[in-house]
Amino acid sequence: MKLCPSCRRELPEISRYCSQCGQRLHADPVELPTPPPPPATSGPGQLNIEVLYGMVAMLSLAILFPPWETPPSQAPEFLGLHFIFSPPTTDAIVSRLLLTIELVTIAIAGLYGSFFFRQKP
């Protein structure tokens, strides 16, 4: 005689299911496969240091070659990127707005790139 694991009713040996509760009866105890343990995570990957060095180099170049514009007395015009000590005209000024936009864009792109290309453990 078999014993139902759920309701403990005695059943004939040929039974595959309990007639009382409907629980499946196994001739041999069946072990359910255990899922593999999750991989040990050692935290997020490290940022890609080469990309960060590239970002610092680009920021340095952006400061050495600032965007120049015409003085406030003239119509606004972008005069290009020249070395800081040799402006395109004698009265040209460094465009602070364009320089700020340039620096922020390089910094965001560098940080995003170093995260995107991070070294995963």
Most confident of 12-26, 57-71, 79-93: 57-71
The reported pTM is 0.56
Mean pLDDT of all residues in 71-88: 86
- Give the model's pLDDT for residue 42: 53
- Of 90, 50, 45, the C-alpha closest to 68 is 90
- Give the model's pLDDT for residue 109: 93
- 13-17, 51-55, 105-109, 112-116: segment of lowest average pLDDT: 13-17
Residue tagged 């007395």 (tokens): 73
